[in-house]
Structure 1
Amino acid sequence: MEHVGRTGEPDKRALRQGFLAVRNRLTDDDVREAGRALAERALDLPELAHARTVAAYVSVGAEPGTPALLDVLRARGVRVLLPVLLPDNDLDWGEYTGPHSLARVRHGRRMALYEPSGERLGPDAVAEADVVLLPGLAVDSRGMRLGRGGGSYDRVLARLERAGLRPRLVVLLYDTEVVAHVPGEGHDKPVHAVVTPSGARRFTSP
């Protein structure tokens, strides 16, 4: 039976639990193989081929893997910014200079994250990005992204919008996470593209 919230939309919490349950059944080999394929597909995107600065993130657990992608971007001379989670769930940023520049940080009872250990550049540093790679759990045919619910990237996208900036927004997912519909709210912003291990798909530019 479908879980329905007050607005009549499927309950986001139940949807998140379902997608996470599928991810948690993946083996380490599954995640590594998907990560390699994801990097190849992502690097075919013209947006990434021409980007000078990319705001990305380090995947953890069974998330679609990003380490291979980060290293290739850096080898191409792209400046890669990675998030640092702040106590209020907003994001600061630091520069990725290789695996040695990452520190494992645990925020309370949450899963430990890998964050840049160097200079903190401030939340507004994301404004320098030509492309923002977004984590997520699903995306639908409109380009609406289902996140984990912490709101960190909602703040990032709102900050960019207030500044009048329109970097390309790309979400990285598994193939099964591209679905017909996910519930959206007024503040949700569609992404420009999704990349999965089997390829990329673009949406109508928001």
Structure 2
Amino acid sequence: MEWRSISKFARKQPPGEDVRINDRIFAPELRVVLPDGTHKIMRRVEALKLARFEQLDLVEVVPDVAPPVAKLMDFAKHVHAQRLGEKQIEKKIRLRAKLDSPKELRLSPKIADHDLEQKIQRMRDFLQKGQKVSVVVRFKGAAEERMAEEALNFVVATVSTEFKVTSETLPSTGRTKSVLLSPSPTADVGGRTTEQPVKQPVGTTAVQ
């Protein structure tokens, strides 16, 4: 009677899966990788007996050679580690996509000093996490347009004293001015710096 896997995962593995394990391996002879990293040529029956003795699974890892290569391992742990690795990769991809999507912060040309400081603190928090920030100011009339430019200049000048950032003035749309702040790829951990590499996004004097 053939021995069946001690692994709960392996027992549930449906027939036809790409990976052959234990009694689903049909090659009469195998090159078996042992737990200590050494390998030896073994008959299939002997390899299965050894797997049972070691309380491990016999997993075919290289089927298209002669003889096929099989490895003694805990198959359930192996699959769990693979899935964990895939989840970590997916998590990094989601995080990268999130960081590449700018956080939008809106300012008023007549924003009070206290409110402006709160907005700048939020920018600091996002930049420290590696997040891009889009700063948008809406205005009415020429006077407010100048104030909007000054507000953007002030914001960029302030954060550039603490972070290595690159700034990009976005095209004006109607009565809106905006600038995109991005953490520099060469920034230290946390993005902080004592340098001031960011040039003013627009050509007017910053708010005093």
- Scaled by the length of structure 2, the TM-score of the pair is 0.24
The TM-score with structure 1 as length reference comes to 0.25
Bigger helix share: 2
Bigger-Rg structure (1/2):
2
